[in-house]
């Protein structure tokens, strides 16, 4: 069925301002025409006509970093920094069945769809062993509900922070603080490769797979390199956490003798297909490396404030021309999946980072981050993020009444 939206206003971050009284025709899953002139349904084609009076069309918002299991953990904690918050999340009761994984994905998808988000990057974790069955449950949920989704299976096989704890307090080893990883690098890469083969590009490209190592402070170089190789084979993305907290940044510097970003860059892991969630504790040199590589920083403004992680240097990243996307992060560190909340907080929090108000983020820039920025993380920057003929018709209609 075709769709025709008549007499609608359009707010597209690739244009200046709002364009009033437009018509948008959609054929299949793509925009066919955008016109100031009135359009009519094509004869012989079944067409759903939407009266756009009082509506504003925007590109569908993209939540570029989420953790779907946390949709069952909203409001779980308060006044906890990340490292303590993570201990809470690892409790055995949060080892979900495939059915629970499926439902958690759908709960989050409903939250996102009701608030204008049409695509998500799910950095999907499990307590225990990452398995094909768990990934099938998550992908099936997105398949059934209709949201565009990229899943990056999150795994860690080398917890350097725990190793430092043991070095400082050896008695913790007897307490079981450090345990054998749930999965080895080789086992994860086997699961990841099979996941790509089964799901990447399914549902006419609506479902995508990404590589998703947890972070350099939690992963071996073998795991990260192997994951990047698989992502490149499928022309897909490599998604990971980077320096969300000061402890993570200092841990990586101790183990690598250089910053996390420099380590990734020097090991050929920083590319246009790389997306880095958080990047709160990064240096000027890191910013230059990120901008030069074409990698994308995914800014999680609400989460970083809730967990007290700090302020990512978004103004400096923007100044250097680095790509930035926005995300709600998991519901346990945000309490919802509403990207309008994320955009508002992002616009407000960075006004205190510079006394030069000309450097503050504009609404246009923030909308770009929440649309075309996220599209880049999915590898769909030419397909999403704008209302133009030929692009995928992932649109949000806002009621202005």
- Judged by phi (left if over 0) then psi (alpha if -120 to 50, else beta), residue 45 lies in beta
Domain limits, CATH 2.30.40.10, in the chain: 2-58+389-399
Domain limits, CATH 3.20.20.140, in the chain: 61-377
pLDDT at 171: 66
Pick from 8, 11, 28: which is nearest to 370 by CA? Answer: 11
For residue 101, the SS3 value is helix
Pick from 276, 368, 370, 362: which is nearest to 315 by CA? Answer: 362
Share of the chain above pLDDT 70, in %: 97
- Judged by phi (left if over 0) then psi (alpha if -120 to 50, else beta), residue 321 lies in left
Indicate the class that CATH gives domain 61-377: alpha beta
Tens of pLDDT, residues 38-47 = 999 988 889 9
pLDDT at 162: 87
Q: What pTM value is reported for the model?
A: 0.97
Fold of 2-58+389-399: Urease, subunit C; domain 1 (2.30.40)
Which letter does DSSP use for residue 211 in this model? B
pLDDT at 44: 86
The position carrying tokens 């990243």 is 317
* DSSP string over 297-360: EEE-HHHHHHTT-----HHHHHHTT-EEEE----GGGTSS--HHHHHHHHHHHGGGG-S-GGGS
Q: Which has the higher per-residue pLDDT, 290 or 172?
A: 290
Q: Is 105:68 a contact under the CB 8 Å cutoff? A: yes
Rounded to 5°, angle at Cα 191 from 186 and 197:
125
169, pLDDT greater than 80: no
pLDDT at 87: 82
What does the mean pLDDT of the chain come to?
Answer: 95
Report residue 120 CA to chain centroid gap. Answer: 6
Tens of pLDDT, residues 114-161 = 999 999 999 999 988 899 999 999 999 999 999 999 999 999 999 999
176, pLDDT greater than 80: no
pLDDT at 289: 99
Mean pLDDT of 206-229: 98
101, pLDDT greater than 70: yes
Mean pLDDT of 313-342: 98
49, pLDDT greater than 70: yes
pLDDT at 175: 57
Rounded CA-CA distance 230/310 in Å is 33
């Amino acid at each position: 069925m075709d769709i025709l939206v008549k007499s609608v206003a359009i707010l597209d971050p690739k244009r200046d301002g709002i364009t009033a009284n437009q018509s948008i025709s959609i054929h299949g899953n793509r925009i066919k025409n955008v016109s100031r002139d009135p359009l009519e349904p094509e004869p012989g084609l079944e067409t759903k006509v939407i009266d756009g009076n009082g509506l504003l069309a925007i590109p569908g918002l993209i939540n570029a970093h989420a953790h779907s299991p946390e949709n069952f953990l909203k409001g779980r904690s308060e006044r906890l920094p990340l490292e303590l918050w993570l201990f809470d999340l690892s409790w055995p009761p949060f080892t979900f069945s495939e059915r629970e994984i499926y439902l958690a994905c759908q709960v989050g998808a409903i939250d996102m769809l009701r608030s204008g988000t049409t695509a998500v990057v799910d950095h999907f974790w499990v307590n225990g062993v990452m398995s094909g069955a768990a990934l099938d449950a998550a992908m099936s949920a997105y398949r059934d509900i209709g949201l565009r989704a990229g899943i990056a299976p999150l795994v860690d096989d080398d917890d350097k922070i725990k190793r430092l704890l043991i070095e400082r307090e050896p008695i913790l080893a007897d307490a079981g603080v450090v345990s054998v990883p749930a999965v080895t690098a080789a086992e994860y890469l086997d699961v990841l490769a099979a996941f790509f083969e089964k799901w990447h590009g399914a549902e006419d490209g609506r479902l995508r797979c990404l590589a998703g190592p947890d972070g350099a402070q939690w992963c071996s170089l073998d795991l990260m390199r192997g994951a990047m190789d698989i992502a490149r084979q499928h022309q897909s993305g490599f998604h990971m956490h980077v320096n969300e907290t000061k402890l993570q940044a200092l841990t990586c510097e101790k183990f690598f003798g250089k910053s996390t970003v420099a380590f990734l860059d020097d090991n050929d892991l920083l590319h246009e297909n790389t997306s880095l969630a958080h990047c709160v504790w990064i240096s000027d040199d890191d910013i230059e490396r990120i901008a030069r590589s074409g990698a994308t920083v995914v800014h999680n403004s609400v989460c970083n404030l809730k967990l007290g992680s700090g302020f990512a240097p978004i103004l400096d990243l923007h100044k250097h021309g680095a790509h930035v996307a926005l995300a709600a992060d998991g519901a346990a560190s945000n309490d919802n999946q509403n990207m309008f909340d994320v955009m508002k907080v992002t616009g407000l929090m960075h006004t205190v980072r510079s006394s030069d108000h000309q450097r503050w983020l504009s609404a246009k820039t923030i909308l770009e981050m929440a649309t075309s920025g996220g599209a880049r993380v999915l590898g769909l920057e030419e397909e999403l993020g704008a209302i133009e003929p030929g692009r995928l018709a992932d649109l949000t209609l806002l009621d202005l009444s």
